[in-house]
Amino acid sequence: MNVARHVGRWTADDRVENVYRYLAFDVPAGAASVQVQLDFDRSAGVLDLGCQAPSGWRGWSGGARSSYVITREAATPGYLPGELEAGTWYVVLGLHRVPPAGLEFTVSVEVAPAGTAPPALPPAPPVPPPAERRPPRALPSVDGLSWRAGDFHSHTVHSDGTLTVAQLAQLGAAQGLDFLAVTDHNTISHHSSLAAAGAAAGIQLVPGQEVTTGFGHANAFGNVGWIDFREPADTWWPAVEARGGLLSVNHPLGGDCSWRHEVSRRPPLAEVWHSSWLDRRWGGPLAWWQSWDITTIPIGGSDFHAHPDVAPGSPTTWVACTGDDVLGGLRAGRVAISSASSGPLLLRVGDELVALGGDGAVLTGPDGRRRIVRGDTATFPAEPAPHWLEDQETRVLAVSC
């Protein structure tokens, strides 16, 4: 057994100099497994944890885990199984929170030689039975396209969520969603599970990665591979775009993870409606959207982590698309957002705005014009600008771009 041990103390000066630190260890040819353990006083600070191999990135668990195991056949969620190539590997640490007094740490690495039985990983919980879906809503089509209900932000055990991919898929289907983007932090280890779990639950699982830093988060959507969160934010969109995906600025007003990156180009999407919008009478998210770039396509994301917290689909993003081409519908800007899949809804259909389930609500636009919605279905001329429904206390109920 090849054992490496790193003991030290990170200081505030270390964090200012470089947030990411790399602790080397050697892996011989034919190794059976890599096992890493990080210990520090979690009441005093936060250290994030990851792994880089000679061939590239092997995973990230941030502050959600203190250990990981990687073998050829399996790995701790958040990490990629596969060949353990010989050479110098690195335990990657993120100095997320370091107190003024410093933070002592210990990293232990065990590399099992060829022929050694790898450490046992906890078995995956059984796949839940198919969920009973809510009946779909009858919605007007747009040029022959169908409106699909979904959520563009969710997490699993592959980062800091509590559900497996299969469990999340069943929960999303039970909420009446047609699609759900699975966006674990700084990893794509969940991508290999999406197709089977989605098919079993009857829901489309969109591959995603939440590119996560201390200056803001962004969701990369599509089969675009891993996006390096350590690179400047200005490189994320070109990388995602070149690989056929889309990038969204996440929860731009979301507490300590509000968007503070400087970018020379605006990403095409922004998560205008997020669970951090604690009181929808606040105009902050809409004001941010208007001042950032009103042509940015708005989306909604629950940022689901644990059941029974905020459920997937709170809010629900509706995309008019052909078949399951959700990203194509996003690119075209055929988007609406509602508080839930069954909530009041405002759709742009040709040259009309159609308000559904919003009797008594107020239709409002950026120019300040306000009109009362009368009846369960009401239509209005569609001006070329975003609009939203609000109640009599100015609480936002639905948005249409």
Q: Are residues 312 and 163 in the same domain?
A: yes
The structural domain count of the chain equals 2
Q: Are residues 158 and 96 in the same domain?
A: no
Q: Are residues 248 and 102 in the same domain?
A: no
Residue carrying the six token digits 């990293």? 107
Report whether the peptide linkage leading into residue 315 is cis, meaning its omega lies within 30 degrees of zero: yes
**Final residue of a domain: which of 343, 372, 393?**
343
Residue carrying the six token digits 């040259």? 351
How much is the pLDDT for 129? 79
Distance CA 149, CA 159 (A): 25
What CATH number did the domain enclosing 32 receive?
2.60.120.380
3-class SS string, 164-228: CHHHHHHHHHHCCCCEEEEEEECCCCCHHHHHHHHHHHCCEEEEEEEEEECCEEEEEECCCCCCC
Q: Are residues 230 and 290 in the same domain?
A: yes
Question: Is 224 within a domain?
Answer: yes
Tokens of 367: 């120019």
| Bridge partner list, 191 | none
Q: Are residues 243 and 319 in the same domain?
A: yes
Question: Is 401 within a domain?
Answer: no
Q: Are residues 97 and 175 in the same domain?
A: no
Q: Are residues 102 and 161 in the same domain?
A: no
How much is the pLDDT for 122? 84
Distance CA 80, CA 59 (A): 6
Which residues have CB under 8 Å from 21's CB, separation 6+?
10, 14, 92, 93, 94, 95
Residue carrying the six token digits 């009041």? 344
Q: Are residues 187 and 241 in the same domain?
A: yes
Distance CA 221, CA 154 (A): 12
Question: Is 253 within a domain?
Answer: yes
Q: Are residues 332 and 248 in the same domain?
A: yes
**Final residue of a domain: which of 343, 364, 389?**
343
Question: Is 382 within a domain?
Answer: no
Q: What is the DSSP letter of 328?
A: H
Q: Are residues 100 and 157 in the same domain?
A: no
The reported pTM is: 0.96
- Alpha carbon of residue 218 to chain centroid: 8
Question: Is 49 within a domain?
Answer: yes
Question: Is 108 within a domain?
Answer: yes
**Final residue of a domain: which of 327, 343, 359?**
343
Question: Is 53 within a domain?
Answer: yes
How much is the pLDDT for 366? 75
| Bridge partner list, 69 | 35
Q: Find out whether 2 and 111 touch, Cβ atoms under 8 Å.
A: yes
Q: Are residues 107 and 28 in the same domain?
A: yes
Q: Per-residue confidence of the chain (401 residues) as pLDDT tens digits?
A: 788 999 999 999 999 999 999 999 999 999 999 999 999 999 999 999 999 999 999 999 999 999 999 999 999 999 999 999 999 999 999 999 999 999 999 999 999 998 888 888 888 788 777 777 878 898 998 888 999 999 999 999 999 999 999 999 999 999 999 999 999 999 999 999 999 999 999 999 999 999 999 999 999 999 999 999 999 999 999 999 999 999 999 999 988 899 999 999 999 999 999 989 999 999 999 999 999 998 999 999 999 999 766 899 999 999 999 999 999 999 999 999 999 999 999 999 998 999 999 999 999 987 788 999 999 999 999 888 899 999 999 999 999 98
Concatenated DSSP letters of 290-312:
HHHHTTSEEEEE--B-STTSSPT
How much is the pLDDT for 112? 95
First to last CA, the chain: 59
Q: Are residues 236 and 294 in the same domain?
A: yes
Question: Is 356 within a domain?
Answer: no
What CATH number did the domain enclosing 339 receive?
3.20.20.140
- The domain in which residue 93 lies consists of 2-112
